Amino acid sequence: MIPLSAASYPWHQTIWQQLQRARQQQHLPHALLFTGSTGCGHEAMVYALAQSLLCLEPSENGYACGSCRSCKVFTAHSHPDFMLLSLAEDKQAISVEQVRSLERFLELSRSYSPNRVALILNADAMNIHAANSLLKSLEEPADNSYILLFTDRVAALMPTIRSRCQQFRLPLPTPVESLAWIEGQTIAIRQTASELLGLARGRPLAAIAEDVGERLQQKILFLNQLKSVLTGHLSITEVASQWEKYNRQELLDWQLIWVQSLINQEVGGALVGEASELVDCLVKPQGLWLLYERLLELKALSTHPLNGRLFVEHMLSLWL
Ligand SMILES: [Zn+2]
């Protein structure tokens, strides 16, 4: 879900200022490609830029005012000078028809905003015909028009698209920024901010996603059962029957992080997080690298339609 207000996060400040300076000097490129991980609020920043380019009275630092006629219709999803293109829920790709409608939109004259703005989310999902069709608009932009693209998979974007846009790599927030932001959220969360951030691999918005609390409980349960397997209190079969339908990639991600942390301790680093619970249960501490490699190999297979119970049994047996 993307908030349609002029959301902005501390980790976007530098790029935001860079964009606004370019805008004030009339150097803002007409085709801007933003890249970065999802779960960090990047889409909201690109939305904020779109709203700001349309706003009738942007503030000194370039943020949309939120109250002018343009901002009101933007927030109501009905701005005549704004067009959003994204992957439809039931579709695999952004089609050439979608891109053609964007071209027609850009040729129209403005209504009351100073610019026309088209935003393409999941830009990597454009099929080859769609991407080829977009090239012309990127090369010869209509006056006062901006095309903003966002993708979290820049490598999947056609090189000809990339070369016609100015690229902005949106940064992953630092752990300090992320923790401060999560702690500032008013939602009731039972876990500490650092636990949540660890779960979400450094992506603060993902960290407060609704299901994170539930997943943390699952992770703790799995950790305890893994410990019981390692100490001989539960059999692999008993544990596997409980996890055969659970997301395999997630199970493997937890274990990979724990093993990484255990390896880190072997080479003199500090042992952090849940991995410390496992250190006394390990059957063969010297085999950690091998275990890590085997878990990684298994992760590569995790999307194959293998029998769930056998998969988890095999996964657990790697620890023994
Ligand atoms: Zn405004």
CA of 108 to the centre of ligand 1 (A): 21
| CATH ID of 212-317, from 2.60.120, 1.20.272, 1.10.3810, 3.90.1200 | 1.20.272
pLDDT at site 283? 66
Mean pLDDT value of segment 189-212: 69
Q: pLDDT, tens digit, for every residue of 266-285?
A: 878 777 677 888 888 886 66
CA of 72 to the centre of ligand 1 (A): 7
CA of 55 to the centre of ligand 1 (A): 4
pLDDT at site 148? 97
Mean pLDDT value of segment 155-163: 93
Q: pLDDT, tens digit, for every residue of 87-102?
A: 877 788 999 999 999 9
CA of 52 to the centre of ligand 1 (A): 7
pLDDT at site 316? 95
What is the model's pTM? 0.62
Spell out the domain ranges in the chain.
Answer: 10-172, 175-209, 212-317
Residues flanking ion ligand 1, Cβ below 5 Å:
55, 64-65, 68, 71
CA of 12 to the centre of ligand 1 (A): 20
CA of 19 to the centre of ligand 1 (A): 18
pLDDT at site 33? 97
CA of 281 to the centre of ligand 1 (A): 60
Q: pLDDT, tens digit, for every residue of 82-140?
A: 999 988 777 889 999 999 999 999 888 778 889 999 999 999 999 999 999 999 899 88
CA of 114 to the centre of ligand 1 (A): 11
CA of 197 to the centre of ligand 1 (A): 34
CA of 73 to the centre of ligand 1 (A): 10
CA of 6 to the centre of ligand 1 (A): 10
CA of 251 to the centre of ligand 1 (A): 46
pLDDT at site 203? 79
pLDDT at site 3? 38
% of the chain with per-residue pLDDT over 70: 91
Mean of the per-residue pLDDT values of the chain: 85
Q: pLDDT, tens digit, for every residue of 51-77?
A: 999 999 999 989 999 899 999 999 888
SS (H, E, C) the chain: CCCCCCCCCHHHHHHHHHHHHHHHCCCCCCEEEEECCCCCCHHHHHHHHHHHHHCCCCCCCCCCCCCCHHHHHHHCCCCCCEEEECCCCCCCCECHHHHHHHHHHHHCCCCCCCCEEEEECCHHHECHHHHHHHHHHHHCCCCCEEEEEEECCHHHCCHHHHHCCEEEECCCCCHHHHHHHHHHCCCCCCCCHHHHHHHCCCCHHHHCCCCHHHHHHHHHHHHHHHHHHHCCCCCHHHHHHHHCCCCHHHHHHHHHHHHHHHHHHHCCCCCCCCHHHHCCCCCCHHHHHHHHHHHHHHHHCCCCCCCHHHHHHHHHHCCC
Greater confidence (182 vs 40) lies with 40
Domain 10-172 has CATH 3.30.390.30: no
